[in-house]
Amino acid sequence: MPSTLRRAGFGFLVDGVQKEIRFTIRLRYNFRVAIGVLILLMGLMPGLFPAQRETANLHTPAFTSSANKSLQANPNIIFPELDLRHITSGLTKPTVVTNAGDGSNRLFIAEQTGHIRILVNGTIVPTPFLDISDLVGGGEAGLLGVAFHPDYASNGFFYVDYVNGKAETVVARYNVSAGDPNVADPASSYTILTQQQPGTGHNGGQLGFGPDGYLYIAFGDGGCCGDPNGNGQNLETWLGKLLRVDVNRDDFPGDPNRNYGLPSDNPFIGGSGLDEIWAYGLRNSWRFSFDRLTGDLFLADVGETNWEEINFQPAISAGGENYGWSVLEGRHCLHDMPRGTCNAFLNGKSTLPILEYNHSFGCSVIGGYRYRGESHPELQGIYLYGDYCSGRIWGALPRDDGTWQSEELLATGFNITTFGQDEAGELYVVDYNGDQSALYEIVSRRTAPRPRPSPAPRPTR
């Protein structure tokens, strides 16, 4: 494995990648040579192969989206070019960039090592907001998710997802300290739920509050090499799932490791399948986000053999979607067991991704956000996502028929581990490079970034 990938310690994003990339490149090359000969023989015009800024026209089933805006009705989609504005460096293995939604305009940056840092006016506050480095494990473990309660400004609650040294995923609540808004109370830990991980990879780790006020929690399948335990399609485990819980009540007062409520409209309540499950058929979802305008959910799932995918769930969904893993990888058959399952999944028994790409373009998809800021109107409504290995950033927009068009907008050269969004809807991207990791703001080349007011750093203890 190249040192640029080995340095990251993010094996869940790159497992088996080098061999697959070489195979895909050879296959793609041979295929293109054959097609080129055919073109010459038929006397066709050149131009079959994509240019550097390649447009991927993915024909996917139409869906009903609450985002039925003017951009969707535009048959001539034009994507702007992107640029990056350096914000800060010296971060250590950042995994999350988010905001508290409290009007402070602060950015909170989670580091895999167990620290949450605060960025104010382009400066990292010296004292970490939270330090749980003594709780997290190494390797692919660590601090993987952070989400602030919708009422954080009044209750001071935020939530973390980490994998500890015993290979347990822990989702826990913490409180901000009473005396300093830039420091959390490390003694306020309150367990929401735990999950034993069967292996060292595919931990998932994303947390996010939906527009319904419930906490969504992503779990990977917990395994390796084709989901050997079949967790993706097993509704009796949280592994390979997206969970949905109510953190404002406790339906399990006698269980110290289950301190949450069950939304009454979760799709498997009262039937087969665990009550917490909202969607299933996931390999290792790395970054999902809700469109802050429409409430639609975009969910990236890291592939294995050759295909990376972006899944979509409209805000009107009642949940229960099956995203296909490990019968399918993207829109392609992986395990046709029993025979005929792939055909069924490809024809209505699963929810197919709206976007996919193969490993000639990268190796591990990183889900992003739909731009809803004001500083760069050319980006309005574009869903941005990237790849950890290639550093590419793509933009995607829906067409009239519900299919999505995607185009490469920037080749960063980074190891991208996460995107971020501030309170104003502006977007950020991380270059993951050990203790020299950096944060950049994503901007459009057509408009200069506008400075936004931000409070001065407050003293910390």
Q: In this predicted structure, what is the pLDDT of residue 64?
A: 26
Residue of 79 and 26 predicted with greater confidence: 79
Q: In this predicted structure, what is the pLDDT of residue 10?
A: 57
Residue of 32 and 386 predicted with greater confidence: 386
> ∠ CA(53), CA(59), CA(61), 5° rounding?
140
Q: In this predicted structure, what is the pLDDT of residue 448?
A: 43
- The stretch 255-283 carries a mean pLDDT of 97
- The stretch 5-10 carries a mean pLDDT of 40
Residue of 303 and 460 predicted with greater confidence: 303
| Cis, peptide link before residue 338, omega less than 30° from 0 | yes
Kindly tell me if the per-residue pLDDT of 61 is higher than 80: no
Angstrom distances, CA of residue 216 to CA of 150, 413, 437: 13, 31, 27
Using pLDDT thresholds of 50, 70 and 90, give the confidence band for residue 11. low
Q: What is the pLDDT of residues 382-434, one digit of tens each?
A: 999 999 999 999 999 999 899 999 999 999 999 999 999 999 999 999 999 99
Q: What is the pLDDT of residues 122-143, one digit of tens each?
A: 999 999 999 999 999 988 899 9
- The stretch 337-348 carries a mean pLDDT of 96
- The stretch 54-74 carries a mean pLDDT of 33
Kindly tell me if the per-residue pLDDT of 51 is higher than 50: no
Q: What is the pLDDT of residues 72-123, one digit of tens each?
A: 334 568 899 999 999 999 999 999 999 999 999 999 999 999 999 999 999 9
- Are the beta carbons of 404 and 354 closer than 8 angstroms? yes
One-character DSSP codes across 280-339: E--S-EEEEEE-TTT--EEEEE--SSSEEEEEEE-TT--S--B--TTTEETTEES---ST
Which two structure tokens, joined as six digits, stand for 442?
């994503």
Q: In this predicted structure, what is the pLDDT of residue 432?
A: 97
Name the DSSP letter for residue 400.
T
Q: What is the pLDDT of residues 277-322, one digit of tens each?
A: 999 999 999 999 999 999 999 999 999 999 999 999 999 999 999 9
Kindly tell me if the per-residue pLDDT of 200 is higher than 70: yes
Residue of 175 and 31 predicted with greater confidence: 175
- The stretch 175-196 carries a mean pLDDT of 97
- Are the beta carbons of 202 and 208 closer than 8 angstroms? no
Residues near 129 by Cβ (< 8 Å), separated by ≥ 6? 108, 116, 117, 118, 182, 183, 184
Residues near 214 by Cβ (< 8 Å), separated by ≥ 6? 244, 245, 246, 247, 263
Q: In this predicted structure, what is the pLDDT of residue 223?
A: 83
Kindly tell me if the per-residue pLDDT of 151 is higher than 80: yes
* CATH top class, domain 3-444: mainly beta
Kindly tell me if the per-residue pLDDT of 461 is higher than 60: no
Kindly tell me if the per-residue pLDDT of 39 is higher than 80: no
Taking the C-alpha atoms of residue 210 and residue 244, their distance in angstroms, rounded to an integer, is 9
From the CB of residue 40, how many other CB atoms can be counted at a distance below 10 Å? 10
Kindly tell me if the per-residue pLDDT of 171 is higher than 80: yes
Residue of 62 and 133 predicted with greater confidence: 133
Kindly tell me if the per-residue pLDDT of 38 is higher than 80: no
Residue whose structure tokens are 């996502």: 385
Taking the C-alpha atoms of residue 50 and residue 434, their distance in angstroms, rounded to an integer, is 34
Q: Give which of 163, 192, 162, 159 is closest to 176, Cα–Cα.
A: 159
Which two structure tokens, joined as six digits, stand for 53?
């800024």
Kindly tell me if the per-residue pLDDT of 148 is higher than 90: yes
Name the DSSP letter for residue 95.
E
Taking the C-alpha atoms of residue 227 and residue 419, their distance in angstroms, rounded to an integer, is 27
Q: In this predicted structure, what is the pLDDT of residue 1?
A: 26
Using pLDDT thresholds of 50, 70 and 90, give the confidence band for residue 199. confident
Kindly tell me if the per-residue pLDDT of 177 is higher than 90: yes
Across 375-389, 421-435, 444-458, least confident range: 444-458
What's the mean per-residue pLDDT of the chain? 85
Q: In this predicted structure, what is the pLDDT of residue 100?
A: 98
Domain boundaries, the chain: 3-444
| Cis, peptide link before residue 326, omega less than 30° from 0 | yes
- Are the beta carbons of 202 and 224 closer than 8 angstroms? yes
